[in-house]
Structure formats: C-alpha cells, structure tokens
Amino acid sequence: MIKRVLMPVASALLGWSAMTSCESGGAESQKSGPAGAGAITAEVIVVKPEMLERKINVTGTILANEEVVLRSETAGRLQKLNFREGSVVHRGTLLAKINDRDLQASLRALQLQDSLLTREEQRKKRLLEIKAISAEEYDQVQTMLQTNRAEQEVVRAQIERTEVIAPFTGVVGLRRVSEGAMMDTNAELATLKQLDPVKIEFAVPERYRAHLKAGTPVSFSVTGVDSVFAAEVYAVEAMIDAGTRTATVRALCPNPDYLLFPGAFARVEIKLESINNALLVPAEAIVQQMTTKNVFVIENGKAVSREVTTDIRTDSRTQIVSGIAPGDSLAVTGLLQLRNGIRVRAIEPTTSDS
C-alpha cells in the first residue's frame, strides 16, 4: 500500500523538475539572443561637404543674330536676281536690280549739262576777272551749275534705290518673286539672316535677375543635334515683365557649322554660382512636417530627430544649410518607422546618393 502512494509522488516530482529545467533553458536562450533584435534596419549615409553648382533650367528660342526682309525701295520691273535660295551672301553683294534705264538716261543728260555749265562758269570767271561782266552774271551761271549737280545727286539716289544690297553677311531665305516681275514699292523679295553667331532668348524668374549679367556662361541643347552648346549672356532686359514676373535674357553662341537655326526650341541651363563645402543629402531623407523639415541622425545606434533648414534642390538631392554637420550619419530609408530614441541597425545604401 505504501509503495503505491510513493510511486505517483515520485512521478510528479520528476515532472515538475523537468518543466522547471525547460523554462530556465528558454529564459537563458532569450537573454543570449542577437543584440540587434527589435532594432529598425535603415540605410545610412555619412554627410560629406562637396562643391555645389547652383543652376537653373529654362526653355528658350534660337534667334538670328541679325535679320532683315529684303524689299524693293522703288517700283519697276525686276531685272536681275543675283542670289541662290539658301545660300550665304556677303555684305555689299548686289542681290537684286530693278530696271533703271530711264534714270540712267536722265543722269547722262545732267552730266552733259554739267560739262557745258562747267565750261561756261570758267569762261564767265575769266570775264569777271577783267571786269567784262558783272558779278551777278557770274553768280547766275554758278547757281545753274550747282543746281545741276544737286539734280545729279537726286538721280543717283534714285538709281541706288533700284538696287538691293546685302547689309551683312548671312543666309538668304526663299525668294518671293521671279525675274521679270513688276515690283511695287516695298515689295518683299526674300529674307536675310545672319546665322553665325546666333542668339538664344530665354526668360528667368525675377529672383534670379541679379545673378545674370553680361558674360554669364550658359549651356543649351536643341532637338535633333546631339551636342551641348556653350553661349554667353550679352544683354538682360532692363525691366521685369509684370505679367510673368520674369526677365528676358539674350546670349550669343558661335555657329560656324550652321547647326543652329532661328525658331528652334532650346533647353537652357544657367550656372548661377558655385558653393564650396555644401552639405547635400538625398531628398527622401528629409521628413516634411507641418511647419518644419526634419532628418534622423544616428547617434550611438539610436535615431535622433533634428530640424533642418534647406536651400538649393537638385534633381535628387537637397542642400542643408543648418541642423546637421559633416560626418553625421543620416538615415535615408525606414523613416516612417523611426522615432526619437529608437534603436537602428545601419546598413550601407544600395545606391549611394552621397
């Protein structure tokens, strides 16, 4: 009877001992787990100072450096067209000629009169010297000679208006008339554009107006040409457009190969200034609050929120001017899970934006 009582008691004691042993082993296992258990994993970068070029990007239009519409100054038959469409012509080249036969005849008649009056003036001058004629008679012939020469100048001016001369070296556009056509005064013949150099016209927001002056370098590209062109600002409009709050700027660019044409759309990049020792961080590392901007700096393995002040923003990064210092470790991922004092397991970013 005694044996039957002792055996169940012994079994119970062995069972209690085994359970106590298992619980003790589990607690020890939990205490000896990984140190980072419960920490937030985040990609972290080290802030480093670097050179920052402050740039803005705007759109613009290519313009001819000089451009005129070639027109006839007088009416008449178009006698000669002395250019090929799309060709380069040089300054002073005779491009078109209106029939001037009647004017040439008038000029020859006046020149013959000039010859006769000159001889008469010389004869009267000798007679005046010996007092054979009065001074009034000499003055009359001298006046007639001067009037004749003035009339010759008028006719020569009329003849000049029958000629269309290239005012500068440039490319002639498509002609609007043919040889033999009857021209009205001010009739359009073609256009002439100076394409080397060309102008680039663009507008910048008024807050950047003070950064632009003659000599400011710009770069630009155009559709269809796989090159980036360098230009230089030569003039800035002396006022701000009240409607757009922008200032119009013009730059010059050499165009010896005629790759750039008026009217082309240009994508313009303007370098405003260079900043040494700028602190740039990925834009996604900044947490936008209601009234502040914050970042998470990792100190002693824990996240610390810091309010920052930002300035220039590039395509993917933002300049921070206060709130962090060179050498700070900055979290760039997992920001929604981070809080002040939370433990962070730092890993290197998969793609570095530092």
Distance CA 285, CA 45 (A): 10
Q: Which residues pair with 296 in a beta bridge?
A: 305
Residue with more model confidence, 237 or 38: 237
Residue 34 lies in a domain: no
Q: Any alpha helices (H) in 130-234, and if so which ranges?
A: 135-160
- What percent of the chain is helix, strand and coil (3-state, nearest 5)? 25, 40, 35
- Write the DSSP symbol of residue 269: E
Do 329 and 312 fall within a single domain?
yes
Do 242 and 199 fall within a single domain?
yes
199 CB neighbour count, 10 Å cutoff: 22
pLDDT tier for residue 37 given thresholds of 50, 70 and 90: low
Distance CA 317, CA 74 (A): 64
User: What is the average pLDDT across 233-237?
Assistant: 95
pLDDT at 18 over 90: no
Give the residue from 273, 306, 323 where a domain finishes. Answer: 273
Residue 300 lies in a domain: yes
pLDDT of residue 104: 94
- Write the DSSP symbol of residue 342: -
Residue 32 lies in a domain: no
Task: Give the domain range for residue 156.
Answer: 70-189
Do 281 and 253 fall within a single domain?
no
Distance CA 87, CA 171 (A): 5
Q: What share of the chain has pLDDT > 90, as a percent?
A: 72
> How many domains does one find in the chain?
3
pLDDT at 213 over 50: yes
For residue 229, give the CATH number of its domain.
2.40.30.170
Do 207 and 314 fall within a single domain?
no
Do 84 and 172 fall within a single domain?
yes
Do 185 and 202 fall within a single domain?
no
For residue 331, give the CATH number of its domain.
2.40.420.20
Q: What share of the chain has pLDDT > 70, as a percent?
A: 88
Give the residue from 169, 189, 209 where a domain finishes. Answer: 189
pLDDT single digits (tens) 133-190: 898 998 999 999 999 999 999 999 999 999 999 999 999 999 999 999 999 999 999 9
Helices 135-160 and 101-129 cross at an angle (nearest 10°) of: 160
Residue 310 lies in a domain: yes
pLDDT at 102 over 90: yes
pLDDT of residue 53: 84
Q: Any alpha helices (H) in the chain, and if so which ranges?
A: 2-31, 101-129, 135-160
Residue 15 lies in a domain: no
For residue 146, give the CATH number of its domain.
2.40.50.100
pLDDT tier for residue 54 given thresholds of 50, 70 and 90: confident
Do 235 and 169 fall within a single domain?
no
Residue 27 lies in a domain: no
